[in-house]
Structure 1
Amino acid sequence: MQIPDHKTKIVCTIGPASSSEEVIRELVLAGMNVARINFSHGDFESHSEVIRRVRRIAADLDRPIAILADLPGPKIRIGKLEKEPIMLHKGNFVTLTVDEILGNEKRIPVNYKQLPESVTPGSLIYLSDGFIQLRCLEISGKDVICEVLVGGQLYSQKGLNLPGAKIFIDPVTGNDLKILEFALSEGIDTFSISFMESVEDIRKVRDFAAARGKPVYIVAKIERRQAVENIQEILKETDALMVARGDLGVEIPIQEVPSVQKELIYSAKLLGIPVITATHMLASMTDNIRPTRAEATDVANAILDGTDAVMLSEETAVGNYPVEAVEMMAKIAKTTENWRSRTKWGLDTIIKGIAEREMSVDEVITLQVHEALQKLPVAAVLTPTRSGATPRRISRFKPETWILALSRVPRTYSFLSLSYGVYPVLVEETIESWEKEATEKAKKLEFVKSGDIVIFTQGPSLGKPGGTNMLKILTLE
């Protein structure tokens, strides 16, 4: 097989531009590791077909490809416009209404019935990812009368943000639970929660799935100020993090987004929690064959921050160049990873942060793996795992060497597709010797050959999750 030339994982949103069997196959070959299904759009029938296609192509190509179901949450949007786009001009007045009408430049419908209760005179209201800014002047029944502070073109169904306002909708909505029920029936076990604010939102999804006998992985999307403020509690409960910079850049001052991104990634990495950095990464490639220099730099900086994965949204969902966007992401990742390997960028910070925490035996073993990788020409790290914790912890050090994570648990195998530098391998239920199995698999996949040095880790019990307490350095025969 052809070993990937980069270790940063790539998440692709599947949409009209990428849902065909041909394009999905090209996305996988270009470097897609995770297919994101955005349930804000489409219907269950079309999503079911996409899920089957992704699985069929992953099996055909023998590639580990995870599927991430994105629960839409309480996204506030404007309604349908009579003609679009409409143009809102600075200094003009416009009325937002919860009445179901066709909108125009004077009167725009909103799908959030509690809008008049959430705003007060002086409140700022943002439309279309914050590019249009309004100020509330007056509330009259179902109407909110506003002045346009920053104008622009507006299309139907664009988002509306109310930074700092009380939102009278549960982050996990009834519609989310219907989607969750459907996705569970399709065998999906990884879900991202939109607009979440606290650990209770994670528990609601986890408990709903558990009541149906389905353990799930949760990706907490950080896109509200409350989530940023509650991040330490969220990190104790979530399985992964997404820095969702679109709405986050409206909910908090946009100039704070870069530093918040760095803090979120660092906090997650200390705990071995995988992170996805998302939104507007290569947005200009929705329409153009090449990204801007700023976008290329943004992707590189996210990788240098320590993100495990970078995500494409409209670029692959509705863009003109979905495959080229993935190829570009892979090229940026490869170049950035090579530079980081030469300079050891950011490594001291994460090592110091880990060392300052109370360390378990598992933590010490993964630190020893890192130290061995600095001193020896190791071809691969082989880690049998039930929970995925050990390969995720080793991944924090961003090693130049691939981590082959062998698991008998399909959901662990799938979820490890999110972790930097981890190549998951699904193995048979009965394993007589993990060391023999791991080395044979690594040879078969052409990650190693006879004469290579490998690191092998294992726990004290084949049936006990976690508890890695052994490290062996082997020279392969």
Structure 2
Amino acid sequence: MHYYGTLGPSACDLDTLKALFASGMSGVRLNLSHRGLNQSKAWIDILHAAKADCELLIDLNGPELRLGDLKAPIELKPGELYTFQDLPDVLYQGVEVGDQLLVDDGRLLFEVIGPGLKTRVLRAGTLQSHKSVAVVGKSFPVPTLTQADLDNIALIRTYGVTAVMLPFVRNSSDIHHLRQALAAAGAQETRILAKIENREGVLRLPEFIEEVDEVVIARGDLGQAYPLYDLIGVQKDLAVLCRQHQKPFMVVTQLLQSMIENEVPTRAEVSDIFNAVLDGASSLMVTGEMAIGKHPVEVMDYLVKTAQSALAWKQKHEAADHF
């Protein structure tokens, strides 16, 4: 079992990273939607000082739609009108009046009421730079890799990156494009983790599952593609498929979300981790809980100990069933 955290303001100093590794962390994710490899050099240097041979996973932009740069976070209230001026061009061309926009893994919801992406706030919250955007029931033709992705891939060997996470994988062609880019950078040995985050990825995973090193069940955006009450069924179907193909898989998103603020997780969160392990997950990852949370070391400690408890329970009952 592998345990991954995410680099961020709460987890980028030497003492914290050493404590995280001491708690059982296997490696870390760097979210390139917020900052590139060159901009993260100081963090990466400290990471390798904490553990020279640690795993470093980079999470690319991929074919994901995101907000651009905002001058400052914007507090929005229900019913308020807001016109987006910082979205990818493809949305301005393809979104229609009546469409609904989900922002920041569905935390905010907007209804389009006029041209130029004039919207009404249906679910309020804080609008922040670089957060994910999805249009309910629609997909858009977006390239597999952005120029920023290609620039970062070219630096993989320089920074000791061990694996690449490709968001919103839709088909085998996406994996092919990534492999070409890795080969061009002389980094063809880098592991590929396919993030399954939309309906097309779920439906077509059987076509490309053998082409990747690991499958990532990324529940944040999957929870926008499917009703939340269906999400865990989709997660379990993906787990079954991975087991059938003997393909390692990771479960990620909101495993310990409450610990961004709280020192102790909820019972539902530890149950979620426990059941992911029983379903056969080969790795688990925390994101914001560690990157921006108040208790990053405690987060990793609960993640590892809960998973170890699940593995022990599983081993005990498998042994009992054997006899």
Structure 2-normalised TM-score? 0.91
Q: What SS class does the counterpart of residue 62 from structure 2 fall into?
A: coil
Q: d(CA) in 2 for partners of 1:213 and 1:149?
A: 47
What is the number of equivalent residue pairs in this alignment?
322
Deviations 1:17-56 (A, max 9, x none): 1111211111110010121122122343453343343334
1:17 aligns with 2:10: yes
Query: Take 2:26 and 2:73, find their aligned partners in 1: how far apart are those partners?
Result: 36
> Does residue 1:67 correspond to 2:56, yes or no?
yes
> Which of 122, 136, 152 pairs up with 2:98?
122
How far off its partner does 1:310 sit? 1.0
Alignment of 1:210-229 (within 5 A): 210-215=183-188, 216-229=190-203
For residue 58 of structure 1, what is the amino acid of its counterpart? K
Change in 2 beyond 3 A, CA 1:117/1:303: same
What is the aligned partner in structure 2 of residue 93 from structure 1?
81
Distance 2:69 2:278 in 1: 41
Q: Is residue 153–residue 185 contact of structure 2 (8 Å, CA) maintained in 1?
A: no
DSSP 3-state at the match of 2:22: helix
Equivalent residue number for residue 314 of structure 2? 340
Q: Give the superposition deviation at 1:122.
A: 2.3
Confirm whether residue 26 of structure 1 aligns to residue 19 of structure 2.
Answer: yes
Bigger radius of gyration: 1
Could you say which residue in structure 2 is the equivalent of 1:5?
none
Residue 299 (structure 1) shift: 1.0
Q: Which residue of 1 aligns with 2:87?
A: 111
Alpha-carbon separation, structure 1, partners of 2:124 and 2:302 = 33
Work out the CA distance in 2 between the residues paired with 1:86 and 1:295. Answer: 28
Match of 2:286 among 293, 312, 332: 312
Q: Following the alignment from structure 1 to structure 2, what is the Cα–Cα distance between the partners of residues 83 and 214?
A: 37
Q: Deviations over 1:79-120 (max 9, x none)?
A: 455664422213x43323xxxxxxxxxxxx233112122212
Is the CA contact 1:88–1:154 (under 8 Å) kept in the aligned structure 2? Answer: no
Q: For each residue in 1:45-75, what CA deviation from the matched residue of structure 2 results, as whole angstroms up to 9, or x when unmatched?
A: 453343343334334xxxx632111112244
Alpha-carbon spacing, 1:46–1:213, altered in 2? closer, same or farther (3 Å): closer
Instruction: Tell me, yes or no, if the aligned pair for 1:17 and 1:317 is still in contact at 8 Å.
Output: yes
Match of 1:396? Answer: none
Instruction: Quote the Cα distance in structure 2 between the aligned partners of 1:56 and 1:129.
Output: 33
Structure 1 residues 335 and 19: alpha-carbon distance in aligned structure 2, compared to 1, 3 A threshold: same
**Counterparts in 2 of 1:82 and 1:237: CA distance versus 1, 3 Å:** closer
Task: Tell me the equivalent position of 1:39.
Answer: 32
- The one-letter amino acid paired with 1:89 is P
Distance across 1 between alignment mates of 2:6 and 2:65:
21
Q: Secondary structure at the match of 2:59?
A: strand
Shift of 1:199: 1.3
Tell me how far 1:238 sits from its aligned partner. 1.0
d(CA) in 2 for partners of 1:81, 1:88? 18
Q: Report the AA paired with residue 31 of structure 2.
A: N
Q: Which amino acid in 2 is paired with 1:240?
A: E
The one of 235, 258, 268 equivalent to 2:242 is 268
Q: Distance in 1 between matches of 2:70 and 2:147?
A: 26
For structure 1, which segment, 253-262 or 151-160, has the greater mean C-alpha deviation from structure 2 after superposition? Answer: 151-160
Structure 1 residues 273, 53: closer, same or farther in 2, change over 3 A? farther
> 1:298 and 1:40, CA in 2 relative to 1: closer, same or farther beyond 3 A?
same
Q: Which residue of 2 aligns with 1:473?
A: none
TM-score (norm 1): 0.63
Q: 1:86 touches 1:155 (CA, 8 Å); kept in 2?
A: no
Residue of structure 2 in register with 1:413 after alignment: none
| Corresponding residue to 2:161 among 169, 188, 192 | 188
Q: Which amino acid aligns with 2:43?
A: V
The share of aligned pairs that are identical, in percent, is 29
Amino acid corresponding to residue 122 of structure 1 in structure 2: G
Deviates more, 1:48-57 or 1:240-249: 48-57
Judged with a 3 Å threshold, the aligned counterparts in structure 2 of structure 1 residues 137 and 261 are, in CA distance, closer, same or farther, namely same
Q: 2-side partners of 1:43 and 1:177: how far apart?
A: 11
Distance 1:186 1:287, change over 3 A: same
Q: Select the residue among 170, 176, 179 that pairs with 1:203.
A: 176
Give the Cα–Cα distance (whole angstroms) in 2 for the partners of residues 46 and 181 of structure 1.
14
Runs of 5+ in structure 2 lacking a partner?
A: none
CA RMSD of aligned residues (A): 2.3
